[in-house]
Structure 1
Amino acid sequence: MDNVWFITGSSRGLGRSLTSAVLAAGQRVAATARRPEQLANLVAQYGDRILPLALDVTDKAQINKAVADALAHFSRLDVVVNNAGFGITGAAEGYTDEQVRSQLETNLYAPIAVTRAVLPHLRQQRSGHILQISSAGGRVGNPGVSIYQAAKFGIGGFSEALAQEVAPLGIRVTCVEPGGFRTDWAGESMTFAPEVPGYETTVGPRVAMFQNGTFEPMGDPDKAAQVLLALVENPEPPLHLLLGSEAVAIVEHVENARRAELEKWRPVSVSTDRDGIPNFLDTELGKAYLQRR
């Protein structure tokens, strides 16, 4: 299918791999980046099938302009990929206010803003697929990346609710949740919070892993790009898609532990209901909730 893609953070990492794969497949892309000149070789190769656009995803005016320019050039958008993002490692209390703000603005507020900007057009089309590039860290918490993961957990919740809102409009939503991939996320793009004493055995190992270069990601971004190309053609795409055996193993382990905790504490959890009322799942509201899921 000749889809038109809108990809943020398209000049590096997974965004670059996906932009290249989309073009190689004969499709078209509005490729946004802080430095769109980094896409010059793709423009030389693919001509007007790629539209490079300057975009700082934390700037709402730039978001609206990029979406408008993409629509003016291609007349439609079929796949929107919120890929731009970066990480900062450190203890939760060690982050500066600016570091916290930058993580939430780029990794949470920005994809919400881009999504809101494109939704009126997808709604009018009655079609479209939004790919939120989240992380396995959007389902599993790890020491040292608490603020990054707060953003990723947030985008997961936003996307689950959004998917239910827009499904009758023909719009699909998928949270893509990679494990470690061979990009510069943990390399040149990674920065660090000021060190705080007392976290040497929790945050310390993760800081050391990223700083000394011992972190060896298993994921291949070019393979991930091919998966995403196929995904948007699937008539029943998943709401959540983990990428990488690392992500699958970690999330499976944690979800098993959460299930065990739920069962252990179930009597306490249900003990707070008012007396004389039925179980929630036996109510009309509960049944309707399960049908929506």
Structure 2
Amino acid sequence: MKTQKVILVTGASKGFGLEIAKTALAAGDKVIATVRSKADELAASLNNNPNLLVVTMDVTNEEQVKAAVEEGVAYFGNVDVLINNAGYGIVTAIEEATDAETKAQYATNVFGLLNVTRAVLPHLRAQKSGHIINISSLFGYDAYPGWALYGSTKFAVEGISKGLALELAPLGIKVTAAAPGLFSTDFLSAESYTAGKNIIEDYATTVGPMRAGADQLHGNQPGDPKKLAQVLVDLAHNENPPLHLPIGKDAAGMFKANSEKVNKEVDQWLAVSTSTDHDHVTTN
């Protein structure tokens, strides 16, 4: 018989977060859903489910994060699974991105994730169990022009997840970096991603198509967000979850293609890479 979990999911007002909350509730789990505003509206849209607590929380506000996590733990008694889902994208060339745009992107996608993780971990450590699922992206496996700044935040999420997994394994806490491909959420809607304000014409051939293509792709992505939500809720109940989980054929394909590309390049330059030891150093 499946054990009921208390799942905390950030960014639950729409997209993946909303679908995860719906799916978890349907599975009989308890859900702490965080939103930046209009908590009552989300609760009402989910029929004020008794297994649901909606809390107001901006992941970039550390004190608000701590208070929201404590409210959720007090309400349900504990937390078993954290799904760090809150985030947004920006389409811009690296050079085009302003300091403010860059810091805002990292404030939510990286530092916000860390704020929530730090607030939840004392509870997971106390019970010597739990699972942290960090939502990464296929853009965290390889770079695309125009999406490289956003992708760099997901590279950071991948690295943070790998480090956390090593640090938390002795404490009975699992970590997964789940990397969705392109899914038909509102991620590419005007409310969910931003376009850099500064445009440099020299990037028209590389970044330009990405600026135009985002609107055209919106609503035509191959992935079904309901199926992704089911994968993640099932994952939350898995006793032996993976550290890396690409979700979608495009994400799995990008992971494999990038691994092959990097391996080929390393092999090609291996003689140079291994030529830098002191002459007296010998290797077995």
TM-score, normalised with respect to structure 2? 0.94
Alignment of 1:63-82 (within 5 A): 63-82=65-84
Q: CA deviation at 1:43?
A: 4.8
CA shift for structure 1 position 233: 2.1
Find the aligned partners of 1:173 and 1:277 in 2 and give their Cα distance. 38
How far does residue 38 in structure 1 lie from its aligned partner after superposition? 3.3
Contact 2:43 2:49 in 1 (8 A): no
Q: Runs of 5+ in structure 2 lacking a partner?
A: none
Q: CA–CA distance in 1 between the matches of 2:207 and 2:275?
A: 37
Tell me the residue number matched to 2:27. 25
Call closer, same or farther: CA 1:150–1:23 in 2, change over 3 Å: same
Q: 1:212 to 1:220 in 2, by over 3 A?
A: closer
- Distance in 1 (CA, whole Å) between partners of 2:159 and 2:28 is 33
Cα deviation, residue 181, structure 1: 0.7
Residues 11 and 38 in structure 1, CA contact (< 8 A), matched pair in contact too: no
Q: What residue is the counterpart of 2:238 in the other structure?
A: 234
- In the TM superposition, what is the alpha-carbon distance from 1:218 to its structure 2 partner? 0.9
Q: Give, in whole Å, the separation in 2 of the partners of 1:25 and 1:187.
A: 29
Q: Which structure 1 residue ranges, 5 or more long, are not aligned?
A: 283-293
1:132-188 superposed Cα distances (whole Å, 9 cap, x missing partner)? 001011111111022211111111111101100000100000000011111111123
For residue 265 of structure 1, what is the aligned residue in structure 2?
A: 269
Aligned partner letter, 1:154: A
Q: Distance in 1 between matches of 2:12 and 2:101?
A: 23
Give the Å deviation of 1:44.
2.6
Matching residue's letter, 1:265: W
SS at match of 2:49: helix
Give the whole-Å Cα distance in 2 for the aligned partners of 1:136 and 1:232.
20
3-state DSSP of counterpart to 1:237: coil
Q: Find the partner of 2:40 among 37, 40, 62.
A: 37
Instruction: Tell whether 2:24 aligns with 1:50.
Output: no
* Range with greater deviation from structure 2 (212-221 or 134-143): 212-221
> For 1:277 and 1:38, how far apart are their aligned partners in 2?
66
How many percent identity over aligned positions?
A: 41
- Asked if the contact 1:15–1:83 (Cα under 8 Å) also holds between the matched residues in 2, the reply is yes
TM-score, normalised on structure 1?
A: 0.92
